[in-house]
Amino acid sequence: MRHKVILDPAFRRMEEIFHPDDLARLHAVCDVVWGKDEPMPPELIDRECLDAFAIVTTRWRYGELAGLPKLRAILEVGGRHPSSAVIDYDYCRANGIRVLSCAPAFGPMVAEMALGMAIDAAREISAGHDAFRAGSEKYLWDGNVDTFTLYGETVGFIGFGGLAQCLKPPIAPFGCHLLAYDPWRTDQFLKDQGADPVGLDDLLSRARVIFVLAIPSTENRAQIGIRELALIRRDAVFVLMSRSHVVDFEALTTALVEGRFRAAIGVFPQEPMPADHPIRRAPNVVLSAHRAGSIVGDSNLIGRMVVDDLEAMAQDLPPWHMQVAEPEIVARLP
Amino acid sequence: MRHKVILDPAFRRMEEIFHPDDLARLHAVCDVVWGKDEPMPPELIDRECLDAFAIVTTRWRYGELAGLPKLRAILEVGGRHPSSAVIDYDYCRANGIRVLSCAPAFGPMVAEMALGMAIDAAREISAGHDAFRAGSEKYLWDGNVDTFTLYGETVGFIGFGGLAQCLKPPIAPFGCHLLAYDPWRTDQFLKDQGADPVGLDDLLSRARVIFVLAIPSTENRAQIGIRELALIRRDAVFVLMSRSHVVDFEALTTALVEGRFRAAIGVFPQEPMPADHPIRRAPNVVLSAHRAGSIVGDSNLIGRMVVDDLEAMAQDLPPWHMQVAEPEIVARLP
Amino acid sequence: MRHKVILDPAFRRMEEIFHPDDLARLHAVCDVVWGKDEPMPPELIDRECLDAFAIVTTRWRYGELAGLPKLRAILEVGGRHPSSAVIDYDYCRANGIRVLSCAPAFGPMVAEMALGMAIDAAREISAGHDAFRAGSEKYLWDGNVDTFTLYGETVGFIGFGGLAQCLKPPIAPFGCHLLAYDPWRTDQFLKDQGADPVGLDDLLSRARVIFVLAIPSTENRAQIGIRELALIRRDAVFVLMSRSHVVDFEALTTALVEGRFRAAIGVFPQEPMPADHPIRRAPNVVLSAHRAGSIVGDSNLIGRMVVDDLEAMAQDLPPWHMQVAEPEIVARLP
Amino acid sequence: MRHKVILDPAFRRMEEIFHPDDLARLHAVCDVVWGKDEPMPPELIDRECLDAFAIVTTRWRYGELAGLPKLRAILEVGGRHPSSAVIDYDYCRANGIRVLSCAPAFGPMVAEMALGMAIDAAREISAGHDAFRAGSEKYLWDGNVDTFTLYGETVGFIGFGGLAQCLKPPIAPFGCHLLAYDPWRTDQFLKDQGADPVGLDDLLSRARVIFVLAIPSTENRAQIGIRELALIRRDAVFVLMSRSHVVDFEALTTALVEGRFRAAIGVFPQEPMPADHPIRRAPNVVLSAHRAGSIVGDSNLIGRMVVDDLEAMAQDLPPWHMQVAEPEIVARLP
C-alpha cells in the first residue's frame, strides 16, 4: 500500500525545492496530493488530510493532530522546527509522528557565503574593489596594511549546530584553531568535534574571526550586547550569518560606525533595512542583504532531503536525512 | 665547519621574509653575511662572495659563477627562477650549484585570495555590498538572480603548478569537477592529481569557474586572446590571478565591458593601471590591485623555506622545501 | 537537583567499561547508585529504582516501566538494543524514556580486526608464518602465488551500520570500490556514503573482499546459504565478523573445506566450537575465536559514551553519543 | 624525432613490471629496443646504446657513460639507486643525464604488509589462528590478555623516506602519535610531515609499535644492536620491513627467543634462512619470508612510473614520477 503525502510547500515554490528527478522519485513511492506553489485550499485540506501519512509544509494549518490518525511524519520545509506552541511535540512522540526539519539544507550555501564574506573582510576584497573603481587602489604591501589570511588563525563559532558542521570542511584547509561556544552542546561534544569549548566572553576576546551561527532561541535574544561587543579584538572580523536575533544590532552598529573592529553582515533585524540606517555607512563592513540561503539549484537539497526520508519511510525504514526534533531543543525555540 | 651565507634580499625587507625564530635558526647553523634591507654594497660583494656557500637574493649581481668556487646554492627570494639568460643553469648543474626558488611561498596567500574572489564573483558579494551601500540591495531570491555556489561545479585550472597545488585543498570541500590545462605537465600527471587533462579551448568552453594560475613563459604570452575569450560560457567566472601576461588584456577588457561573462582580476598588465582604463567601469568584475601575495606574516614562509633548506644543506642533506630548477622549465622562462 | 543513575553493568565489569576519568565525570553530575561488578541485589533494585532518572545495564530486570515514573533513559551496555519483547519501546516513546545502546563502542576494535584479518587472508600472513615455522617458507614471487593487495579492489559490505562506518576510514587509503547491501538502508543513503547499493547476489559475485558486518535480525538468519556461497568468486576473501547468524555456517564450512574461496572468520555459531569441527582444518582460512571486541582499554569507549550522554541529559540537553533506538529497527531485532 | 629507449629489465620480467596499457603508451612515444625478459645480448648493447636516449635496467652493464653521448636518462627498475661506485653521478649531472629509481613503486605493497603484520602482532591474529587450529583458542577477554589496538598509540618510524610516506595514509585513521628518526631528514622536515623528530634511543624506548623502514646506507649497518634492543618496551611490537641490514639480527633473535618484546619480521639477513635458525622458534613473532614487495599486478606500478617519466621526457618535460638521485643521498648508499 502506498502512503499518501500532502505536499503543500507554500511560501516555497515547487521548483525552488524539488529537482525533477527527486519529484519523480517521490511519485514513484507515494501518492502525492497537491504539490503546487499556491497554498492548498482549506476544503482540500479537510478532505485529504484525514488519511495522510505525511505532510510537507512550511506552516501548520491542518487542524488538530488528533484528527489525523494516519499521520506519521510532518516534514517542515521552511527552515526550522516549529515552536512547541504550534506543534504538540509530546503528542507527536506519543503517537509515533516524526517532526522533521529541512534546516540542514541551507548549511552548504550559507557556509560558502560565510567563508566568502570572512575572506572578503579579512583580505578587504570589497573595499579594495571600491577603491579600484574610484581610482585609489593600492598595490602590493600598500594594499595590505590591515589585511590578514585565515591560515592558522583562531576562529570562534558561536553556535555549533548544522551550519557549523557545514562550515568546518571549507575552513579546515586553513588550519585554524577552533573555539566554540554553544549552550546546547556539552564540552565533550565540542571537543570531539575538534573545537575548544569556551565561554562566550572568552571566545569574543580571543578569536580573530568570529562566526555567529546560532539559531534564535528563547535564551539568546541580544545575547551579544554592548558589554560583549567591547570584548572583541580591534583586529577581528565579526561575521554575522544567523541570526541578528542573537545580537544587539544597534550596539553593533554603534561599534562598527566607530570602527571598533571589522565585520561581515548577512542578516538584519529588519529586512529591508531602513534607507537611512547608519550601518549602511559603517567603515570596514561587508554588507549582504539576507540572501545566503536562497540559491536556485542549491535549494533543491530541501526536496532531496524530503524525498530521501519519505522514500525510507515508504520502505518502513527510519528517515536519515532531515533533522529530527529533540525535545530539549524544540522546548527552547521561540 | 660552518657555511658562509650571503643574505642580500633587497628589494624584499628582512622582516618581510624572516620570522625572528627562523632567522635565529639560520644563525645557529651558518655564518650570515649582510642580512639588511638595503642592497649589499658592491665592495662587500667582491670581498665576501669568493668563499660563499650560498647566496640569498632577488636579483643576480655577484659576477661570474666561475669566480665563486665554493658556491653550492643560489636561493632566489623574488618569486620565480631567474631566466637562463641571467643564470647559466648548465654551469650550475655541472658544478653542483643548486638554484632554488621561493615561488611556492606565495601559493597559500594567493590561493586564499583566488578562492575568496571566486566566491565573491559567484555570489556577488562586492556587487551586493555596493548595492547595499547605495540603498538598492535585494533580499532573498531577488538578490540571487545570477549567483551560484561552487558546490559541484566544473572548475578549470589554467596552469597546474605550485599555485594550483595550493588551491586544490581549499577548493576540495566544494566537490568540484576539475579540468586542467598545462602544457608543462603530461596528461598522466594531471590525472594523478585528480584533474581531467583537457585542451585550452575545451577548458574555456566547459568550466563555470576558470582560474588562470600559469606563470609567464616564452610560449604563453597573450595565449588567451579574442578567439579564446569567445569560448567562455556567459555564466562563467574568469579569475585572473597569475599573470596578466597570459591574457590579451585589452581583449578581455572589451569582453567584460560588453558583459560577456563575469570576472575577478588580481593582476594587471600595468601597475598601477591608467586612471581611465575601461576595466575600471566593467560590470560584473571584481578588481583587486596586485596584492594577493603581499601579506606581512604570511610572507615569512619565504624565509622559513630558505632556512629549512640551508639547514638541510648545512647537515649535508638535500634541500626539500624550495622549488628546484628543472632544465626543461627554466629554458622556457622569459 | 542531581539525577539518580542506577549503574548495574554486570556481566560487564566496571573497570572494563569505565576509565577512571569518565567515572569521575559521572559522579560530578549524577548521584550514582551501585556501580559494582556484581549484579545489583533485587532488594536494592526495589528500593532505589523508583526515583531513578537513568538505568545503565546489560539486561532488563527492573520490573514494569510503569513502576518507574522518573525514568528518562535506559542505557544498555551489553552491545545491542534489547528486543521489543523485553522493552516496550512504544511505552518508552510515549513517556519520554530514551533507550540508548553502546553498540557503536565496539566498532573501532572490530573494524581494525576486520581489516587486519582481511589483509592477513589476502597476503597470507598467517599461512606464510606457519610455513616459515615449518621451514617451508617461500620467498619473493614464489611466496605470492595467490596473494593480492587491497589497493583498488572491489570490496563488499554486507550490512552498512555502525561497524561499516568504522571500517570505512581504515579501508579508504586503499582506494577500493565499495559495494553495499543493507536492507535497512535506502539506496540513496548508501550512495551518499560513497558505496554502490547492490543486491546481495550481485555483491557476492563481484567483490574481491566481502565483509559480513550485519547484526542479527528476524529477517537475516542464515541468509547466506548454499546458493549464495556458490556465487562467491574463487579468488575472493570472505570476512565474517558480525555475526555467524547471517550465514549457514555448515554450508560455509563445506565450501571452505573444499577450498572454494578464502576466508577470515571471527565469530562462530557455537563458542567454543567443538574440538572436531571441520572448520578447524579448512585450508586458506584465518580463524579467530570471537574476541575482536574485547580489548581492555578500548572497551572504555562504552563508559565514555554512557557518561557523555548522562552528562548531556544532566544539562537538559539531548544525548549525542550512544545509538538511539529507531522503531523500525528495534522491531526487527530478534 | 622519437627517442630510442633501451628496455633491458632482467632480472625482472616484462609482464612483472609492465601493464600492457603502459607498454602501449611507451611504444606510442619512443622507439623501444629489446624489451624481453632475458638480458640484452652484449653485441646488441654495443650496437644499440650509442644513440640511446634512455636505458631501463636493473644493473649497469652498458660501458662507459662517456661512450653514450645521447644518453639523457638511466631508469633503474631494480629497487634502489645504484651505488656511486657503479654510476658516476657527477658525470651524469654535468652531462644532463638523469638517474631515476623505481624505489617508490614498492611502497604501497610494503606499507600494506607492514600494517597487516603490525595488526597481526598487536592483535595476535597468527597466534590466535594457530591456537584455534590446535583446539586451544581462547574467547573474548581470555583471548586478549596481551593484545592491543593501534588506536591512539605512539608509533615510531625508523626511516622517513618513500616507504614511510606510503605507510602514513593507512596508519592515519588510527590516530597514532608519530615519532620519527631519520638522519637523512632535518627535524623541520619531519615536523612538517606531522611526526615528532626524535633520537633513535628515544624512539625505541617510547614507541608501542616500531616500524623499521630505513634503506641500507654506509652508516646504518647493525645500527640497532644489543644496547638499542634493550631500550624497547616489553609491550612493544617491533616491525622489521626494510632492511635487516639495519639490525643486529642475532641480537634481535636472542631478545625475541627470550620473549623480550613482540615482533613482525619480513626481511632476513640470509634468504632463505637456515632451517635451524632459532628465529623460527621465537615466541610472539610473526614471520614472513621476504615477499612484501613482490605482488604481480601491483608490481606494474614500476612500469607505470617508467612510462610516465619517459612520456614526460619525450615531450621535453621533466620527469615527475620516479625518484631522483640526490647527491647527498647516493653518496651514502652502500
A189 at C interface, C-beta within 8 A: yes
A50 DSSP 8-state letter: G
CA distance C307 to C314: 10
Residue A242: partners with Cβ closer than 8 Å, 6 or more residues away: A110, A159, A163, A212, A213, A214, A215, A267
- Alpha-carbon distance D186 to nearest alpha carbon in chain B (angstroms): 6
- Residue C289 to residue D173, Cβ atoms within 8 A: no
Query: Which chain D residue lies closest to B316 (C-alpha atoms)?
Result: D328
- Residue D186 to residue B329, Cβ atoms within 8 A: no
- Which of B116, B140, B287 is the closest to A123 by Cβ? B116
Q: What are phi and psi of A265, to 5 degrees?
A: -125, 125
- Residue C291 to residue D139, Cβ atoms within 8 A: yes
CA distance C159 to C168: 12
Size of interface B-D (CB pairs under 8 A): 55
- Residue D132 to residue C280, Cβ atoms within 8 A: yes
D131 at C interface, C-beta within 8 A: yes
Chains B and C touch (3+ CB pairs under 8 A): no
C218 at D interface, C-beta within 8 A: no
* B68-91 pLDDT tens trace: 999 999 999 999 999 999 999 999
- Which of B117, B131, B295 is the closest to A144 by Cβ? B295
Residue C1 has pLDDT above 80, yes or no: no
A308 at C interface, C-beta within 8 A: yes
- Residue C137 to residue D173, Cβ atoms within 8 A: no
The pLDDT assigned to B95 comes to 95
- Residue A318 to residue C327, Cβ atoms within 8 A: yes
* D259-317 pLDDT tens trace: 999 999 999 999 999 999 999 999 999 999 999 999 999 999 999 999 999 999 999 99
CA distances from C4 to B191, C27, C324, D79 (A): 60, 10, 21, 65
CA distances from B74 to B62, C69, C121, D98, D248 (A): 11, 80, 53, 21, 42
Whether B252 and B278 have beta carbons less than 8 Å apart is answered as no
D1 at C interface, C-beta within 8 A: no
Residue B138, all three cell numbers? 535585494
Residue A208 has pLDDT above 80, yes or no: yes
A329 at C interface, C-beta within 8 A: yes
CA distance C236 to C248: 18
- Residue C173 to residue D174, Cβ atoms within 8 A: no
C140 at D interface, C-beta within 8 A: yes
CA distance C108 to C304: 14
- Alpha-carbon distance B323 to nearest alpha carbon in chain D (angstroms): 13
Residue B95, all three cell numbers? 658544478
A333 DSSP 8-state letter: -
CA distance B42 to A56: 80
Query: Which chain A residue lies closest to B118 (C-alpha atoms)?
Result: A116
- Residue C140 to residue D113, Cβ atoms within 8 A: no
Residue C243 has pLDDT above 90, yes or no: no
A142 at C interface, C-beta within 8 A: no
* D24-47 pLDDT tens trace: 999 999 999 999 999 999 999 999
Residue C255 has pLDDT above 80, yes or no: yes
pTM over 0.95: yes
Whether D156 and C119 have beta carbons less than 8 Å apart is answered as no
Exposed, middle or buried, D235 (CB in 10 Å: 0-12/13-18/19+)? exposed
* Residues of chain C neighbouring A321 (CB-CB closer than 8 A): 189
Q: What are the DSSP E strand ranges found in chain B?
A: 3-8, 30-34, 54-57, 73-76, 98-101, 154-158, 177-181, 196-197, 209-212, 237-240, 262-265, 285-287, 323-324
- Alpha-carbon distance D212 to nearest alpha carbon in chain B (angstroms): 21
The type of residue at B176 is C
CA distances from A129 to A112, A123, B146, B286, D147 (A): 20, 11, 20, 6, 62
Subunits with at least 3 CB pairs below 8 A relative to chain A?
Answer: B, C
Do β-strands C177-181 and C196-197 pair in parallel, antiparallel, or remain unpaired? parallel
The pLDDT assigned to A242 comes to 86
- Which of B123, B131, B135 is the closest to A275 by Cβ? B135
Mean pLDDT over the full length of chain B: 97
In chain A, the N- to C-terminal Cα span, in Å, equals 38
Residue D1: partners with Cβ closer than 8 Å, 6 or more residues away: none
Q: What are the DSSP E strand ranges found in chain A?
A: 3-8, 30-34, 54-57, 73-76, 98-101, 154-158, 177-181, 196-197, 209-212, 237-240, 262-265, 285-287, 323-324
Residue B1 has pLDDT above 80, yes or no: no
Residue A204 has pLDDT above 80, yes or no: yes
- Alpha-carbon distance C94 to nearest alpha carbon in chain D (angstroms): 38
- Mean pLDDT throughout D226-254? 96
- Mean pLDDT throughout C87-92? 96
* D127-182 pLDDT tens trace: 999 999 999 999 999 999 999 999 999 999 999 999 999 999 999 999 999 999 99
Q: Which of A81, A82, A43 is nearest to A324 (CA)?
A: A81
Least confident range of B258-262, C59-63, D125-129, D243-247: D243-247
* B143-156 pLDDT tens trace: 999 999 999 999 99
Subunits with at least 3 CB pairs below 8 A relative to chain C?
Answer: A, D
Size of interface A-B (CB pairs under 8 A): 172
Q: Which of B64, B164, B66, B86 is nearest to B331 (CA)?
A: B86
Compute the C-alpha angle C198/C202/C207, nearest 5°: 95
Give me the residues of D, 89-128, that contact C with CB < 8 A: 108-109, 112-113, 115-117, 119-120, 123, 125-126, 128
Q: What b/e readout covers A163-178, taking b as 16+ CB neighbours within 10 angstroms?
A: bbebbbebbebbebeb
Q: What are phi and psi of D132, to 5 degrees?
A: -65, -45
What's the pLDDT band for A328 if we cut at 50, 70, 90? very high
C139 at D interface, C-beta within 8 A: yes
Query: Which chain B residue lies closest to D325 (C-alpha atoms)?
Result: B318
Q: Which of C91, C82, C77, C73 is nearest to C37 (CA)?
A: C77
CA distance C102 to C306: 8
* Residue labelled with grid coordinates 582604463: B277
* Residues of chain A neighbouring C326 (CB-CB closer than 8 A): 318
The type of residue at C119 is I
* Residues of chain D neighbouring B94 (CB-CB closer than 8 A): 93-95
Q: What are phi and psi of C244, to 5 degrees?
A: -65, -25
Chain B interface, mutation test: which of A119, A244, A262, most B Cβ atoms within 10 Å?
A: A119
DSSP states of B255-309: HHHTTSSEEEE---SSSSPPTT-GGGG-TTEEE--S-TT--TTTTHHHHHHHHHH
- Residue C143 to residue D291, Cβ atoms within 8 A: yes
Do β-strands C209-212 and C73-76 pair in parallel, antiparallel, or remain unpaired? unpaired
* A125-135 pLDDT tens trace: 999 999 999 99
* Residues of chain C neighbouring A185 (CB-CB closer than 8 A): 317, 320
Q: Which of B63, B56, B59, B50 is nearest to B30 (CA)?
A: B56
Q: Which of D116, D209, D107, D82 is nearest to D158 (CA)?
A: D209
Exposed, middle or buried, D98 (CB in 10 Å: 0-12/13-18/19+)? buried
For residue D281, the cross-strand partners are: none
Q: What are phi and psi of B211, to 5 degrees?
A: -105, 120
3-state per-residue secondary structure call for D208-255: CEEEECCCCCCCCCCCECHHHHCCCCCCCEEEECCCHHHECHHHHHHH
When computed from its CA atoms, the radius of gyration of chain C, rounded to whole angstroms, is 22
* Residues of chain B neighbouring D328 (CB-CB closer than 8 A): 316-318
3-state secondary structure of C131: helix
* C103-124 pLDDT tens trace: 999 999 999 999 999 999 999 9
Helix, strand, coil in percent for chain C, rounding step 5: 40, 15, 45
Least confident range of A214-218, B26-30, B115-119, C48-52: A214-218
For residue A286, the cross-strand partners are: A264
CA distance B8 to B76: 10
- Alpha-carbon distance C186 to nearest alpha carbon in chain A (angstroms): 6
- Alpha-carbon distance A151 to nearest alpha carbon in chain B (angstroms): 8
A310 at B interface, C-beta within 8 A: no
- Residue A184 to residue C317, Cβ atoms within 8 A: yes
- Residue D320 to residue B96, Cβ atoms within 8 A: no
In this prediction, the answer to ipTM > 0.95 reads: yes
Chain D interface, mutation test: which of C115, C142, C288, C299, most D Cβ atoms within 10 Å?
A: C288
* Residues of chain C neighbouring D291 (CB-CB closer than 8 A): 128, 138-144
* C74-86 pLDDT tens trace: 999 999 999 999 9
CA distances from B266 to B226, C275, D316 (A): 20, 76, 31
B41 DSSP 8-state letter: P
For residue A327, the cross-strand partners are: none
